[in-house]
Amino acid sequence: MSVLLSIEKVSKSFGGIWALRDVTFDVHEGDIVGLVGPNGAGKTTLLKICMNLLRPSHGFIKYKGLKITGLSPHKTCKLGISMTNQIPRPFKRMNCFENVLVGCLFGAGLKRNEAEREAETILEKVFLSQKKYTIAGELTVFEQKLLDLAIALSTAPKFLMLDEPLAGSTEKEVAQLVSIIKKLRDEGTTILWVEHVLSEVIENCDQMIVLNEGKKILEGKPQEIVNDTRFIEAYVGEENA
């Protein structure tokens, strides 16, 4: 499979503290790549850099062989890159349908009536059709999470970054989310999945990357990594995966 996105020696410092140091890896088309690591490992920072919401101190990102670092986020989005947020960030004073419609119109660049149809499809995909006209701020936290995912999907992404989608969800909700993610993979979306809860990632991803203190410490098939001592070290006292 061809390389869709490659991260080339990306470093990022915040006022002298290195959040990321020389991180390099590739994401292959059609894969689900799991990105794991303890708190403060720099996972979210990396996603923001991929989205061009942050500018790396060194290094760059290549997408389909082209350097995209330095583009504005909305142009990045139009290339087919999209992300969800750890804390859901829907547009709180708009209703669900409008929330998704914005992305369909601008991110995916659809015509008005096409966009409306697409928005409905997406809402259905994330089980929010019933809440079409509910104001986003009035949804439950989990519904907001779903909506956040829907917004990310509305831009018709080829490469989707999920920032801890499962954090704080009940088992039933986890199952619901995982089913959506699987469906997306089947549709051919490449996914970079940042997660704290390891079990689901290990079960579902094709490739796994471990970050610790801003550095990539491991890369490989999930089963190999789980047994690696360095991985266990990084997670000691953190998680009993």
Partner 1 sequence: MRLKSKSIMFSIVFMFFIIVIPWILQGYPLLFLLQLAINIAFAQSWNLGFSYAGLLSLGHALFAGISGYVTVVICNMGIPIYISILIGAFTSMLFAVVVSPLLMRLRAIYFAIGTLILCNAFQYWFMHWTEAGRALGLRLRMYPEYSLSNCYYLAWIVAFIATVLPWIIVKSKLGLAALSVRDDVDRSEAIGVPTLLVKTIIFAISAFIAGLVGGVRVAYLLIIEPTLAFSFEQSLWATLAVVLGGTGTLIGPILGAAVITSLQYALMNIPELSMLITGVMLILIILFLPRGLISIVKKILQPLRKPNTHARPPQRDQGTIKVLSNHKFPFSDCSESAVKDVCSFEH
In the bound state with partner 1, the residue whose beta carbon lies nearer, of 77 and 126, is 77
Kindly tell me which residue out of 109, 168, 230, 233 binds partner 1, with binding defined by CB under 8 A.
109
Kindly tell me which residue out of 23, 33, 61, 105 binds partner 1, with binding defined by CB under 8 A.
105
Site for partner 1 contains 190 (CB under 8 A): no
Least Cβ distance, residue 217 to partner 1 (angstroms): 28
Least Cβ distance, residue 153 to partner 1 (angstroms): 10
What residues numbered 123-162 form the site for partner 1, per CB under 8 A?
132-133, 135, 151-152, 154-155
CA distance 35 to 7: 13
In the bound state with partner 1, the residue whose beta carbon lies nearer, of 134 and 176, is 134
What sections of 25-111 are H helices per DSSP? 43-50, 73-78, 96-102
Site for partner 1 contains 101 (CB under 8 A): yes
Six-digit token pair at 160?
Answer: 């989707």
Residue type present at position 180: I
CA distance 203 to 141: 25
- Would you say 50 and 61 are in contact if contact means Cβ atoms under 8 Å apart? yes
Among 59-67, 76-84, 212-220, 229-237, which window interacts with partner 1 (CB under 8 A)? 76-84
Kindly tell me which residue out of 9, 58, 67, 89 binds partner 1, with binding defined by CB under 8 A.
89
Site for partner 1 contains 19 (CB under 8 A): no
Site for partner 1 contains 169 (CB under 8 A): no
Buried b (16+ CB within 10 A) or exposed e, 75-112: ebbbbbbbbbbbebebbeeebbbebbbbbbbebbebee
CA distance 56 to 46: 9
CA distance 148 to 153: 9
Site for partner 1 contains 78 (CB under 8 A): yes
Six-digit token pair at 128?
Answer: 């929010």
> To which H or E segment does residue 25 belong?
strand 17-28
- Name, in order, each residue with C-beta under 8 angstroms of 138's C-beta and a sequence gap of 6 or more: none
Site for partner 1 contains 107 (CB under 8 A): yes
Site for partner 1 contains 117 (CB under 8 A): no
What residues numbered 49-68 form the site for partner 1, per CB under 8 A?
51, 53
Site for partner 1 contains 91 (CB under 8 A): yes
Q: Are strands 215-220 and 66-67 parallel, antiparallel or unpaired?
A: unpaired
Site for partner 1 contains 112 (CB under 8 A): yes
Site for partner 1 contains 95 (CB under 8 A): yes
- Would you say 231 and 218 are in contact if contact means Cβ atoms under 8 Å apart? yes
List residues near partner 1 by CB under 8 A: 51, 53, 72-74, 77-78, 82-83, 85, 89-95, 97-99, 101-103, 105-109, 112, 132-133, 135, 151-152, 154-155
